[in-house]
Amino acid sequence: MTSIEAVAAYHPPVRTPVGDCLREYGLREAQISVYERFYGFRYVRLDPGGSLTEQLVAAMSALPELRGREDRIRYVMHARSMPVVAPYPVNPLLEACRKVGLEHAEIFSVSQHACASALLAVHLAGTMLATTGDPDARALVVGADKAFTASAQAVVAAGVMGESASAVLVRAGGDRDRVLGYATRTHGRYYQGPWMPDELGVEFQDHYPDALAEVIEAAVRSAGLGIDDIALILPHNVNRMSWMRVLRLLGIRGADRLYLVNQADIGHCFCSDSFLNHETARLTSRLRRGDHYVMTAVGLGATFSAMVLEH
């Protein structure tokens, strides 16, 4: 069984109002007001002068459990939303691994599920580690993307993108945060490249809550649990209005079990949201020993994923 041994977060120092970001990309004041008042976004954390390599190093360095145990890391996976992040032959992930002493590991990126790639990477890491026969072997999953284009800065009717990053230490076995279930569905008809036609976009927004509720229920069933057994949902930080529809479809009254407290301050951080929310929930004792919880993510393309764990 796969387990998450430790999670750490890196938040860039610059706290930028979302209105400033959206005005830069041509949104009108009325549209900005919708993002702030209805979708729930106020600020994003950005590091305009920082590189992706520096972002990766900062996320890795935020994980104290890594220090002194670098030799145990068998795999380093960069979970990212963007398929291309640097011109050839620049390799930010390799550069970052060299800086923190992980160049001995097998190093690669996972991007096929866009913003759901980190959950895929955790599942993949556990599967690969289970074949090594080495109980001390670990994998490091790092979620980091730079919001460096207009289409990467804001997703229509979904979110404003931030550059906070996460680092996740994964092992096979263990008794920390055990993965009990995982489900993923790709609705490929919505893959239209970076810009979806308006008509299909409206259809996708209408289909979105049903598809997300379905994959959450599938992950919960695969864990042998019911929705009432779930203490907390650690979501991807998108449009809170869409989340209210998902909760209704799941039969969850109110929003007490939906952990969206970080959304207003950091925005939607590509692959990292659930893990950033995990760290905050753990530090504030919102996650308690024995709690069953769900992590969710949706990647454009369109992949819906959910993972069930026991804290």
pLDDT, tens only, 145-192: 997 766 667 777 678 999 999 999 999 998 889 999 999 999 988 887
Q: Which has the closest alpha carbon to 80: 151, 183, 152, 15?
A: 152
pLDDT value at residue 83: 87
Quick one: 141 and 260 in the same domain? no
CA dist 134 to 105, 173, 230, Å?
Answer: 14, 11, 32
Look at residue 178 in the predicted model and tell me its pLDDT: 97
Residues 162 and 13 in one domain: yes
**CA separation, residue 108 to residues 90, 94, 211, 243 (Å):** 14, 9, 29, 33
Burial class (CB in 10 A: 0-12, 13-18, 19+), 175: exposed
Residues 187 and 164 in one domain: no
Q: In this structure, are 154 and 280 located in the same domain?
A: no
Domain co-membership, 34 together with 82 = yes
pLDDT tens digits for range 246-305: 999 999 998 999 999 999 999 999 999 999 999 999 999 999 999 999 999 999 889 999
The pTM (predicted TM-score) of the whole model is 0.95
Per residue in 60-91, pLDDT (tens digit) is: 999 999 999 999 999 999 999 988 888 889 99
Tokens standing for residue 28: 């009108």
Domain end, chosen from 151, 172, 193, is at: 172
Same domain, 89 and 185: no
Q: Are strands 2-10 and 165-172 parallel, antiparallel or unpaired?
A: antiparallel
> Does one domain contain both 121 and 241?
no
By 3-state DSSP, what share of the chain in percent is helix, strand and coil, each rounded to 5? Answer: 40, 25, 35
All residues at 6 or more sequence positions from 277 whose CB lies less than 8 Å from its CB, including other chains = 234, 235, 237, 259, 261, 262
Do 88 and 212 belong to one domain? no
- Provide the residue count of the chain: 311
306: enclosing H helix or E strand: strand 303-310
Residue at which a domain ends, from 172, 192, 211: 172
Does residue 68 sit in the same domain as residue 118?
Answer: yes
pLDDT for residue 150: 62
Q: Who's near 166: CB < 8 A, 6+ residues apart?
A: 7, 8, 9, 10, 59, 118, 142, 143, 144, 269, 271, 272, 275, 276, 279
The pLDDT value given to residue 195: 65
* pLDDT tens readout for residues 202-211: 888 899 999 9
Neighbours of 176 (CB within 10 A): 14
Does one domain contain both 144 and 162? yes
The Cα 202–Cα 197 span in angstroms is 9
Q: Rounded to the nearest 5°, which phi and psi values hold at 89?
A: -100, 20
Residue 27 has pLDDT above 70, yes or no: yes
Q: Report the pLDDT value the prediction gives residue 152, as an integer from 0 to 100.
A: 65
Which of 148, 172, 196 corresponds to the end of one domain?
A: 172
Q: What is the signed CA dihedral for 91, 97, 98, 100, rounded to 10 degrees?
A: 150
Kindly state whether residues 154 and 190 are assigned to the same domain. Answer: no
Are 47 and 182 contained in the same domain? no
The two structure tokens encoding residue 110: 């996972």
User: Structurally, how many domains does the chain consist of?
Assistant: 2
Among 3, 31, 291, 1, residue whose Cα is nearest residue 160: 31
The per-residue pLDDT for range 104-116, each reduced to its tens digit, is 999 999 999 999 9
The CATH number of residue 192's host domain is 3.40.47.10
Range of the domain at 274: 177-310
Closest CA to 184 of 275, 227, 114, 120: 120
Confidence of residue 193 (pLDDT cuts 50, 70, 90): low
